[in-house]
């Protein structure tokens, strides 16, 4: 928590001289009796904060440039430029049509992301029935995407993006690392089909343990790191933002926060760069509350598993996968937390880890290196070392 201030009469008098009629009192501030008397005498209201401040107006860079050029020469006319549109995928393939895969397909169809959505699952009839069910909604929603489904892996052929969710889910008491051996076989089978039938696809790995399975996908496909991404940071960051919003009593839209590191016990939420209504966390929350939010983000997936008993989260991971697809097709811009193979960024090499990165039509564009506190950087290094040990690197 920020160091409390002692607000005396001189501070109130200074506010009066500045023409203020409201004095913000932050949590933990100590207001002297004389200050309260002075405030009442000069007509200044002492208001409990933090107060919500209006966001400063922002002018688009292109608009500012046009104004500068016009002032230099009023005859100058801005060239017409059509607004940027998100790319519509030709084909989106989903290996695994269970809870996460089915939800990704539904969200993608509703957002009109692709001409064709292919669902693949080894469970007889599951993918085909889900595809048919989604096609039946088009008479209501007007969705243009046509869905197909089946057990054959060759349905990935020609896909622009392949999302791999297949694999065994956690049960209560299991860690993500407990799934390494069984799910590695699933990843290798998927990789063989992708390598031969969709060699230009961007692969998004959702199967747990996510960072380790992303390494396995890279090995098995032989693809460059740009083409193989792990979905974790988007989901973990959403859980962190939700925890902070609940603790501060605000909406998640008021919170900016993200997590790095592994998708597991070595997850590294980054409180130093988190903001609530544009202000540091300690304006709203105590150190203990912030630590509780960090732990809530780390254990969020396990909380769902404990309640569900026979499965793991499906809805939030699907939304997180859609966020990555949106970045790939240009519907969203800016850095997004994603698991990628690091080549020296953050002083880490040869390990897949969640970091902020820019994505585009070819997958990874570049990793964005942020300034972290010593404690946060140590957590990132610890996560990398833990993954190395689990993979025997």
pLDDT in tens, 331-362: 998 999 999 999 999 999 999 999 999 999 99
Q: Quote the CA–CA distance of 316 and 321 in Å, as a whole number.
A: 9
The phi-psi region of residue 278 (left if phi > 0; otherwise alpha if psi is between -120 and 50; otherwise beta) is left
Instruction: List, by residue number, the catalytic residues.
Output: 263
According to the model, what pLDDT value does residue 203 have? 98
* Token reading at 256: 């900016």
According to the model, what pLDDT value does residue 175 have? 61
Q: What is the mean pLDDT of residues 300-309?
A: 88
- Does position 116 have pLDDT exceeding 60, yes or no? yes
Query: Which one of 15-29, 51-65, 164-178 scores highest in mean pLDDT?
Result: 15-29
Percent of the chain scoring above 90 in pLDDT? 63
Query: Which one of 27-31, 175-179, 314-318 scores highest in mean pLDDT?
Result: 314-318
According to the model, what pLDDT value does residue 328 have? 96
- Helix/strand/coil for 107: helix
According to the model, what pLDDT value does residue 74 have? 63
Q: Quote the CA–CA distance of 109 and 112 in Å, as a whole number.
A: 5
Q: Quote the CA–CA distance of 370 and 355 in Å, as a whole number.
A: 9
CB 231 within 8 A of CB 357: no
CB 194 within 8 A of CB 156: yes
Specify the pairing of strand 45-48 against strand 114-120. Answer: unpaired
According to the model, what pLDDT value does residue 42 have? 81
Phi, psi of 78 (to 5 degrees): -65, 135
Q: Quote the CA–CA distance of 195 and 153 in Å, as a whole number.
A: 11
Give Cα separations from 371 to 276, 356, 374 (angstroms). 19, 12, 9
Q: Quote the CA–CA distance of 338 and 352 in Å, as a whole number.
A: 10
Q: Which residue in 189, 178, 186, 237 sits closest to 207, CA to CA?
A: 186
- Does position 21 have pLDDT exceeding 90, yes or no? no
268 bridge partner residues: 260
According to the model, what pLDDT value does residue 173 have? 64
């Amino acid at each position: 928590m920020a160091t409390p201030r002692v607000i005396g009469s001189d501070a109130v008098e200074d506010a009066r001289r500045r023409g203020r009629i409201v004095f913000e009192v932050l949590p933990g501030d100590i207001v002297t009796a004389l200050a309260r008397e002075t405030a009442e005498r000069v007509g200044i209201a002492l208001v409990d904060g933090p107060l919500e401040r209006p966001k400063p107006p922002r002018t688009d860079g292109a608009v500012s440039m046009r104004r500068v050029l016009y002032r230099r020469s009023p005859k100058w006319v801005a060239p017409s430029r059509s607004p940027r549109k998100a790319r519509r995928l030709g084909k989106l393939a989903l290996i695994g049509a269970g809870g996460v895969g089915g939800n990704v397909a539904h969200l993608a169809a509703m957002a009109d992301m692709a001409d064709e959505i292919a669902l693949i699952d080894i469970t007889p009839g599951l993918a085909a029935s889900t595809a048919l069910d989604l096609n039946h909604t088009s008479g209501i929603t007007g969705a243009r995407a046509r869905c197909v489904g089946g057990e054959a892996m060759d349905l990935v052929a020609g896909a622009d993006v392949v999302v791999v969710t297949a694999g065994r889910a956690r049960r209560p008491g299991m860690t993500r690392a407990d799934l390494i051996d069984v799910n590695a076989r699933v990843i290798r089978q998927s990789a063989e089909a992708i390598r031969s039938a969709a060699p230009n696809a961007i692969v998004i790995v959702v199967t747990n343990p996510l960072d380790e399975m992303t390494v396995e996908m890279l090995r098995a496909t032989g693809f460059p790191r740009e083409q193989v991404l792990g979905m974790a940071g988007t989901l973990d960051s959403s859980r962190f933002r939700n925890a902070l919003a609940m603790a501060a009593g605000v909406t998640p839209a008021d919170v900016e926060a993200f997590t790095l590191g592994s998708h597991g016990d070595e997850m590294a939420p980054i409180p130093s760069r988190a903001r609530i209504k544009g202000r540091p966390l300690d304006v709203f929350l105590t150190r203990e509350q912030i630590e509780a939010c960090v732990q809530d983000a780390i254990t969020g997936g396990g909380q769902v598993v404990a309640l569900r008993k026979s499965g793991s989260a499906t809805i939030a991971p699907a939304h997180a996968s859609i966020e990555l697809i949106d970045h790939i097709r240009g519907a969203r811009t800016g850095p997004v937390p994603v698991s990628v193979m690091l080549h020296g960024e953050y002083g880490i090499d040869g390990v897949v880890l969640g970091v902020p990165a820019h994505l585009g039509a070819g997958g990874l564009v570049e990793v964005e290196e942020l300034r972290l506190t010593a404690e946060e950087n140590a957590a990132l290094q610890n996560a990398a070392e833990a993954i190395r040990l689990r993979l025997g690197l």
